[in-house]
Structure 1
């Protein structure tokens, strides 16, 4: 069994899978359920100085992803301070895990809220979702939080066109203790074809994209940030399985947050991801999750860039003859004959698509 414990800025997590700020942590009851489901620590839903007026409807599952217009917590800060945070704090203490409290957005709002949250929090997560591209509000928000509390301050970044490496550098220089990347992406639009109306109830019908469709973007952002700053990163975006979390660690994450998968599958998803990570690490000979952190960064340095064709390796014994490779090969390099794939290496362009489409894993790109 691999060691899945991680330590970030002095905070020890029993495993690296946490809820992301959102509906899974919308109140004390749900946060308790996250721990019961196997989360390694807690992150609360973002609050501000007033309760959010949330457009209705504001969540929808779409093909390949998820849209929301969630905003911040619909509960007022007084409710959190009087009821929800005490429940979460007691549960975190009982489980022996950290409690990170998410808040936003401006320096003035953070200066007002942070001292009140300090008795409950082991760390703060600052949302920059509504601060735009100008880095000054983020710098001011970090300064306000650092002035108000003596615990780690993590900054959550949104992929709003901002150059993530530059934004991470600014956050590091401003005194942030870590980065949370990324928030949902948007604005986006989805339509109910029966009514002709947007699925989201916002004024223009826009929503923000999360779920599986977000993962490649999230991985790129974490990868870029990890190569730029010397700060721990909580990877967020599209994680729904152990292998998804493994990918996040390989591009440089120190822990992983999960939101959409917990909305769609319930709080037991945290424990399932942990179990899948543990099994993957054991099967691949790793003793600790820390051993794979940043592995992609290292391997990419070692890889030789090329523009010539390198055909995949074909394990005929594993081939089931499903034909997906043949359907998608526009170079006529692979066909199924007698229920087995046959590869013509001279025709192969080396695009790699067949490898990613092969259900039994009979095709593999050679290491280079």
Structure 2
């Protein structure tokens, strides 16, 4: 049988399938369910210095994908620091897997939050979802995290308004230890044709698209980044089954993250995708996920 364990930045993951920072890991209980559901490591929902205002309704399924108006955690950081992180840390320790804490967004906010989360974090993930081509805010966020922490710093990138290879090189030069790609895409818009109202709340009804609809774009971003920098990559965007994970690994990812599939199918989806990945590796004669990482990059396009 294939050995699914993966080591990234000195952290040992029992398999390469993790939750993505989102509503699927909105609190300590959901992180515990992810650990019990077979996740190879845990990633908590992004926090910032204040709780996020979340319009209602804030999620809608669109043919197997999702529209959402989620921002960062709707709970204040004090709640995470006083309770939720301790629950998540206990679940991670019991499962023997790393716990990654997601922070946003500016350098000033990261400088404030990073020292507070250190007691629970095996690594941190910095969200840069709202940044465009100017890499300065991302560089400032990385610098703030590196100054405050002695754990790996991952940077999560969206392709919106930025050239991914250049952004990845800027992140590497700034000291990032790994890159997470990508985030949800948007703004997007959906209508209820029975009423004519938007599917989502808020002043304009706009939201962000996630799930299988964005997978080809996310795989392309991983493929581009893998050829631009010498950093581990965590692939995110539309992973629904083991074969999707294979695609991201072949494009250059070391780990993958799952959000929409967990929202729709529940927390056991992490273990199911990992099991399907293991079956695929066995059937194709590969001993581990590492054996297929970057395989597509080594191919010559005819």
1:88 counterpart residue number: 88
CA deviation map 1:320-368 (0-9, x unaligned): xxxxxxxxxxxxxxxxxxxxxxxxxxxxxxxxxxxxxxxxxxxxxxxxx
Contact 1:252 1:295 in 2 (8 A): yes
Unaligned runs of 5+ in 2: none
User: Which whole-Å CA distance do the structure 2 matches of 1:233 and 1:58 have between them?
Assistant: 29
Secondary structure of the 2:119 match is coil
1:73 counterpart residue number: 73
1:208 counterpart residue number: 208
Q: Which structure would you say has the larger RCO, counting Cα contacts within 8 Å and 6 or more residues apart? A: 2
2:233 counterpart residue number: 233
Secondary structure of the 2:162 match is coil
1:37 counterpart residue number: 37
Contact 1:66 1:210 in 2 (8 A): yes
Deviation, structure 1 residue 203: 1.4
1:103 counterpart residue number: 103
Deviation, structure 1 residue 229: 0.3
CA deviation map 1:79-118 (0-9, x unaligned): 0001000001111111111000001000010000000000
User: Which whole-Å CA distance do the structure 1 matches of 2:185 and 2:70 have between them?
Assistant: 13
Secondary structure of the 1:21 match is coil
User: Which whole-Å CA distance do the structure 1 matches of 2:239 and 2:64 have between them?
Assistant: 13
Deviation, structure 1 residue 64: 4.5
User: Which whole-Å CA distance do the structure 2 matches of 1:70 and 1:8 have between them?
Assistant: 28
User: Which whole-Å CA distance do the structure 2 matches of 1:63 and 1:90 have between them?
Assistant: 36
Note if 1:128 corresponds to 2:128: yes
TM-score, normalized by length of structure 1? Answer: 0.81
Note if 1:272 corresponds to 2:272: yes
RMSD after superposition: 0.8
2:197 counterpart residue number: 197
Matches within 5 A, 1:309-328: none
User: Larger Cα Rg: Structure 1 or Structure 2?
Assistant: 1
User: Which whole-Å CA distance do the structure 2 matches of 1:84 and 1:64 have between them?
Assistant: 30
Which stretch of structure 1 is more off in the superposition, 188-197 or 79-88?
A: 188-197
CA deviation map 1:200-231 (0-9, x unaligned): 11211111110000100000000000010000
Unaligned runs of 5+ in 1: 305-368
Note if 1:172 corresponds to 2:172: yes
User: Which whole-Å CA distance do the structure 1 matches of 2:202 and 2:174 have between them?
Assistant: 34
Contact 2:132 2:161 in 1 (8 A): no
Which stretch of structure 1 is more off in the superposition, 15-24 or 59-68?
A: 59-68
1:243 counterpart residue number: 243
Which stretch of structure 1 is more off in the superposition, 286-295 or 60-69?
A: 60-69
**4+ residue runs of structure 1 moved beyond 6 angstroms?**
none
Contact 1:2 1:286 in 2 (8 A): yes
